[in-house]
Structure 1
Amino acid sequence: MVAGALRHRGAGRAAWLAFAAGIFGNATGILVEGYNLHVNAEYESPGWADLGYLSLYPAVAAGLVLLIRRRSEGRDWGALVDATTVTTGLGLLAWVFMIRPAVTETGLSPLAHLTGVAYPVGDVLVLAMLTRLLLGGGATSTAYRLIAASACLFLVGDVTWAVLNTIGVEPGPAAHRLLGAVFLLAYVLFGHAALHRSAALIGESAGAPPKLGPGLLVLLTLASLMAPLLLLGQIAAGEVTDALPIAICSIVLFLLVVIRMAQLLRQLEAQTARVRQLSRTDELTGLPNRRAWNAELPAAVERARRDGAGLAVAMLDLDHFKRFNDEYGHPAGDRLLKSAAAAWSEQLRGTDHLARYGGEEFIALLPGADTGEAVRVLRRLMTATPLGQTFSAGLAQWDGAETSDELVARADAALYEAKRAGRDRVEVARRPAADAQPPATDARLTPR
C-alpha cells in the first residue's frame, strides 16, 4: 500500500498512507498475539496485541475522511444526514448486541471493559465514515469499490467475533481459519486497491451528489425503523433492557427524518424556481425569451395606461444574419447573437427591457419614451453593434388605446419596411388608421 501511494501522485495519497498505517497496526497485532501464543501458549486480552488491532479503526476512518473531503464539492448536507441516519440505526444495534454486553459483563477489569467497548465503537466509527463515502456519489472506480469491499469485510469479521462472544460460543479451529481468511481477504483487497491504476484518481471530486433512489430510500427506512423494531423485539421477549437508548435513538432518528424532509423541500423549491427561470430565459443570450416578453408587455401597457405615460416598442433584426452564418459558421453566429445582446443591454436605459424574440430578432420595450427618445436609444444600439454588423429596426409608439398584440404588429410591420428600404435603419410605424399621420421619415437612420 505504501508502494502504491508513492507511485500514484493523485490527490488521495494521504488517504492511502492512512489506510496503510491502519493495516500495519492491525497486522502488528496479529504478530504480537502470535508471538505470545508461541511463547506462552496463550494470549490474555487486553494486551499489546489489542493496541495494534484497535489502531485500524482511527487510521481507516481518517483515510475515509480524507477521501470524503477530496471527493465532495463543498458540504453535501443531504449525504451527511443520510449517513447519520444509517449510522444511528445500526449504532443502536451495535449498542444492544455488542456494546452493552461488553459494558455489563462481570468479572472484568476496567481496562478489559474499555477494550471490549472500543472494538464495536471502532466498527461504528468506520461504518459511519464508509456510509458517508458511499452516499457521497461520484465515479465508482475499481480502487473505490475495493476499499469499500475491504472495509465491509473488516466489519463482517468484527461483528461475527462479537456475536460469538455474546452468545458464549467458542469457535473451533475451522471457524478460526475461516474468520482469519475473511481478514486476510480484507488485507488483500486494500493492497490491490492501492496498486490499481485507478488509485490515483480516487481522491478526485465526485461532482453532483447522487439522487435519492429506491435503494437509498429502503436503507433509510430500515435504519429509521430500527428503534421501534428493537423495542417490539424486547417486548416480545418479555423484558425491555434498553428503553433509554431506544428512546434517545428514536428521537434522533425522528429529527434526522424531519431535517432530511426540510432539505428535500428546499431543493424542490430551488429546482422549481430554476425551472421557472429557465422557461422564461433564452438559453443562448441569457435575455428574457418570447414567453417572458408576452407576459411583460401587457403589464407594461396597463402601467402606461394607468399612469398616462409614453411607451415604445422596437423590433430589431440583425442584417444578413444567414449570410454571416454561412460565411463564418453557426458557432460564430451564436457568438454574434450573444455579444450583440450584451452590447445592446449596456446601452439601454435602466427602465428598458430587451428580449430575444426568435432567431436573429430581438424586441425592446422602452417605457416612458416618446418617439424622439426611442430613436436616440436605438441610435446608441446601432453604434454598439459588434463585429461591424448592422441591424434594421421597426419602432412603434403606443397610441394609448391599442392592445399589446396590435402594438407589436405595428413594430413588426415597420421592421419589414426598414428591411425593404435597404436595411441598417430604423423605420417608425404609422399610427393606426383612426389617427394616421405621415411616417416620420427623419427617423430613418444610417449612422455608418
Structure 2
Amino acid sequence: MRGTDRRAYAVAMAVVIAGYQLLPDGPWWTAAWQVGIGWAGTAAILAGARRLPWRDRLPWWCFALGIFANSSGIAVAVYAESVLGRVDLPTPADPLFLVLYPACALGLALLIRRREPGRNWTAMVDATTITTGLGLLAWVYVIEPAAQEAGMSLLGRAVQVAYPVGDLLLLAMLTRLLRAGGVRGASFWWLAGSFTAFLAGDTTWVVLGNLGDAGWALEEVLWFRRGIDMMFLTAFALAGLAALHLGARELARTAAPLPPRLGRLQLAALTGASLIAPAILAGQVASGRVTDGPAIVVGSTALFLLVVTRMAQLVRQVERQSRQVRELSRTDDLTGLPNRRAWNDELPRALERSRRDGAPVCVAVLDLDRFKQFNDSYGHPAGDRLLKEASAAWHSALREVDTLARYGGEEFTVLLPGADLASARAATERALAATPLGQTFSAGLALWDGTETSDELIARADAALYAAKGAGRDRIVAADPWPDVHMRRSQ
C-alpha cells in the first residue's frame, strides 16, 4: 500500500474511533461501530500480508483471525443478550472472544521464530519472570476468585478463568517479542502497541471488577465505559496499520539475539515483577489474614530461581567478555597471530620447559624484505594484505608445534621447540619458499644455550637477522653463540 493510502487509513481509523464517543446510547449502534472497526483492521492486515512473501504471511493471518473473531464476538454478544436473553457465562460470544488469545499468541510465536531461529535463553528468562510475577497477581485477585465463584456452572467458571489466562499468554509472547533481536521500525511498534492496548483494556476491566461499588459506579459513566472500549478499537486499528506499513517486510528478517545485558527499563520491569510476591504477602499480613500462602510460596520460589538464573547469565556474559578481552590483548588485529605481549609470555615458559626436559629450542626473527618499498609502490592496503597472506603462508609451512607471532611492523618471530639449528633452518626455509606475491624475507636463527635470558636469545637472533640483511637479504643466518657467558653476565 502506498504511503498516502496508509495515512488515509490511519486518519480514517482515528476519526471513527474518536467518533465512537458521539454515538447514540444503544447496544446495536456501539456493536456495529466496534465490529466495523474490527473488520476494517482485519481487512488491512490481510491487505498488508498480500505484499509479503508466502513464508512471512502466516503470522499476519493469525493476527487477522484473532481480531476478526474477537470483533465478530461483539455482535454475537449483543444478539445473545438482546434477543436470546443470554447473559450468564458461557455465552455464544465467548468462543469468538477467546480465539483472540491463542491465534495472536501463535502469530507472535511464529514472528519471534522468524526473527530468532535459535533459542534466546536470556529473553525467555526475562519474559518468564515478568509473566510469573504478573501471573501471581492475576491468580490472587482474578483467577482464584473466578474459579471459586458461587452460583456459576463449572463451564462458566472455566470460561471466566480463560480470559486472564489468555491475557497472561499474550503478555508472555509480547514480552518475548520485545526482548528479541531484529528490526524495530514503525511496523514493530504499531504491532506491539496493538497488543499492549488489548492488555490495557482487559486490565482496566479487571481493576474495575476488584473495586467493588466504586468500579460499578465508574462503569455506569458512559464516556468512561466507552473510553475503555476505545482501547480495544485502537488495538484493532494499530494491528492493521502495522501490516500496511512497509516495515512489515522487515519484521520477519532473521537477526542475532540481543546480548544478556540489562538496561534500565528491563531492570525496572524485572525488579517490579520480582517484588510482586512480597508485596502481596505484605498486603495480606497487614489485613490480618494470609489467604494465598501456597500461591505466594510457589510464586516467590519461581521468581527467586528465575532471578538467580538471570544473574548466572550475566556472570557468564561478563566472564565470556573478559576472556575475549584477554584474547584480544594477546592477538594481533591484522594477522590474527599472537602479538608481542603473548610472545613475551610464551618464550620464558618454553625456555623453562626446555631447561626441564633437556630438549633444544630455537628462535627465529623474520623481516620482510623491502616492505617499505612495497608499501610505497602499491599502497598500505596492499601492504596489509601482504602481511596477512604472508603470515598465513608461513604458519602453514611451519610445524604444528611452532609458534609464529607478529613482533612489530613487518617483523615476526618464530618459536621452534625441540628443534636444533638444522631442523629450525629447514622449517624456516620452507616458510621462505612459501612467501606470497614474489616477496622474500631475511631471518636470523638462534639456538638457546641453556643459560641466556629470553631477551638475550632474541638479541642474538636479531643480530643474525641484521647480518642476513647486510649479506644481501633473502636468506637465513644462524647466530653465533656468545663468546663468553661469564663475561656477558658481568657486563
Shorter-chain TM-score: which interval? Answer: over 0.9
* Aligned amino acid, residue 386 of structure 2: L
Q: Which residue does 1:72 correspond to in 2?
A: 116
Q: Secondary structure at the match of 1:201?
A: helix
Q: Which residue does 2:366 correspond to in 1?
A: 316
- TM-score calculated relative to the size of structure 2: 0.85
Q: Secondary structure at the match of 1:394?
A: strand
1:118-133 alignment, distance < 5 Å: 118-133=162-177
Q: Which residue does 1:425 correspond to in 2?
A: 475
Partner residue of 1:185 out of 202, 215, 234: 234
1:192-271 alignment, distance < 5 Å: 192-210=241-259, 211-271=261-321
Structure 1 gap ranges (5+): 437-448
Residues 183 and 253, structure 2, Cα contact 8 Å, conserved in 1: no
Q: Distance in 1 between matches of 2:186 and 2:76?
A: 33
Q: Which residue does 2:407 correspond to in 1?
A: 357
Give 1:41 deviation, angstroms. 7.0
Q: Secondary structure at the match of 1:424?
A: coil
Give 1:435 deviation, angstroms. 7.2
Q: Which residue does 2:100 correspond to in 1?
A: 56
Q: Secondary structure at the match of 1:15?
A: helix
Residues 120 and 257, structure 2, Cα contact 8 Å, conserved in 1: no
Give 1:43 deviation, angstroms. 4.3
Q: Secondary structure at the match of 1:396?
A: strand
Q: Which residue does 2:23 correspond to in 1?
A: none
Give 1:44 deviation, angstroms. 4.2
Matched positions, count: 436
Partner residue of 1:83 out of 114, 118, 127: 127
Partner residue of 1:147 out of 167, 191, 200: 191
Partner residue of 2:394 out of 336, 344, 348: 344
Q: Distance in 2 between matches of 1:10 and 1:330?
A: 48
* Aligned amino acid, residue 216 of structure 1: Q
Q: Are 1:403 and 2:453 an aligned pair?
A: yes
Structure 2 gap ranges (5+): 1-44, 487-491
Runs of 4+ in 1 over 4 A off after TM superposition: 40-44
Give 1:106 deviation, angstroms. 0.9
Q: Which residue does 1:441 correspond to in 2?
A: none
Q: Secondary structure at the match of 1:85?
A: helix
- TM-score calculated relative to the size of structure 1: 0.93
Q: Secondary structure at the match of 2:93?
A: helix
1:289-328 alignment, distance < 5 Å: 289-328=339-378
Partner residue of 1:162 out of 203, 206, 213: 206
* Aligned amino acid, residue 278 of structure 1: L
Q: Which residue does 2:436 correspond to in 1?
A: 386
More off after superposition, 203-212 vs 393-402? 203-212
Residues 312 and 366, structure 1, Cα contact 8 Å, conserved in 2: yes
Give 1:334 deviation, angstroms. 2.2
* Aligned amino acid, residue 431 of structure 2: L
Q: Which residue does 1:288 correspond to in 2?
A: 338
Partner residue of 1:113 out of 148, 152, 157: 157
Q: Which residue does 1:444 correspond to in 2?
A: none
Give 1:117 deviation, angstroms. 0.3
Give 1:273 deviation, angstroms. 1.8
More off after superposition, 301-310 vs 146-155? 301-310
Q: Distance in 2 between matches of 1:275 and 1:74?
A: 26
